[in-house]
Amino acid sequence: MVNVENEVSAVPQDAAPPFALVRGEAFNTLPRDLYIPPDALEVFLETFEGPLDLLLYLIKRQNLEILDISVAEITRQYMVYIELMKGLQLELVAEYLVMAAMLAEIKSRMLLPRPPGVAEGEEGDPRAELIRRLQEYERYKRAATDVEALPQLGRDIFTVSAERPDTQVMRLAPQVSLHEVLLALKDVLTRAEMFSHHHVQREALSVRERMSNILSAVNADNFTEFTTLFTVEEGRQGVVVTLLAVLELIKESLLELIQTDTFSPIYVKVPRQSIQGVSDEFATT
């Protein structure tokens, strides 16, 4: 017998330990139908993925179809393996014992005489549920093999890549919807209770737009002729808006009106100090 002391050293036996213990009795010879090299037995037993896997192995070893299994014979062989696993102190998960109980129950039902008057099929084959489970497991066991055979990245398939060109990560500016801006305004105006005071009105808005336009059109170095600020095509209303804008700008000291003589052309210009302010600001930053 091959030396298996190392594998079974956990078995609390002294000199010449038996191969395994079955129901308390020393188990010194392997079952005749187990032709696995003994030193590989433990590894072998551990490869089973559970009771269904072990049963499928036993069925295949007998060259049987799942449908043709003899429950009595399969149960006998199954129990031998269970005892072997116990003897080797493999971690025997509960599922193996549950299956043993199920096999025993099927076996006993197969032995019971069918009650008279009950036609075959009504009671059903006691093996049906076991066969269904074996078939179901077999199906996915094969599927697992099929999946493993698919081309795998790093084993059969190698991805390729080329060196990236010199580039900086482009950072895109966030998207904003007008709706978001308006909601923000609603919030801030609600907070400031601006709605009730009618500080901001549509009319004021177009005057303010015009104020911005005028401010961008004029500068401190040159005089701009007052009349060029008006666009005849805008009609009476446009002229009024521009005039209001100019007056507001003058009130806020953002613009000055210059007329050298009576009836001579009126010019507008940004006050000199204002521009001075710009250069000051740039100088300090």
Q: Which of residues 194-223 bind another protein (CB under 8 A)?
A: 194-195, 200-202, 205-206, 208-209, 211-212, 215-216
155 is a site residue for another protein (CB under 8 A): yes
Cβ proximity to another protein: between 8 and 218 the closer is 218
* Residues near another protein (CB under 8 A), total: 106
How many C-beta atoms lie closer than 10 Å to residue 207's C-beta? Answer: 20
* H/E element, 20: strand 20-22
Tell me the per-residue interface mask from 117 to 146 with another protein, x by CB under 8 A, - otherwise: ---xx--xx-xxx-xxx-xxxxxxxxxxxx
Cβ proximity to another protein: between 14 and 163 the closer is 163
For the CB of residue 219, give the shortest distance to another protein in the complex, in Å. Answer: 9
Cβ proximity to another protein: between 4 and 55 the closer is 55
31 is a site residue for another protein (CB under 8 A): no
CA distance 31 to 57: 16
Cβ contacts of 243-250, under 8 Å, gap ≥ 24: 244/207, 244/210, 245/207, 245/208, 245/210, 245/211, 245/213, 245/214, 246/214, 248/207, 248/211, 249/211, 249/214, 249/215
| Pairing mode of beta strands 224-225, 267-269 | antiparallel
Q: Name the β-bridge partners of 26.
A: 21
For the CB of residue 36, give the shortest distance to another protein in the complex, in Å. Answer: 18
Cβ proximity to another protein: between 176 and 232 the closer is 176
Contacts of 78 (CB under 8 A, 6+ apart): 51, 54, 55, 58, 99, 100, 103
Instruction: Name residue, tokens 């099927």.
Output: 106
For the CB of residue 13, give the shortest distance to another protein in the complex, in Å. Answer: 30
171 is a site residue for another protein (CB under 8 A): yes
Cβ proximity to another protein: between 107 and 269 the closer is 269
| Sign of the Cα pseudo-torsion (255, 259, 264, 269, in order) | negative
SS3 of residue 219 by DSSP: coil
User: Which 69-98 positions form the footprint of another protein (CB under 8 A)?
Assistant: 93, 95
User: Which 246-285 positions form the footprint of another protein (CB under 8 A)?
Assistant: 252-254, 270-271, 273-278, 280-281
172 is a site residue for another protein (CB under 8 A): yes
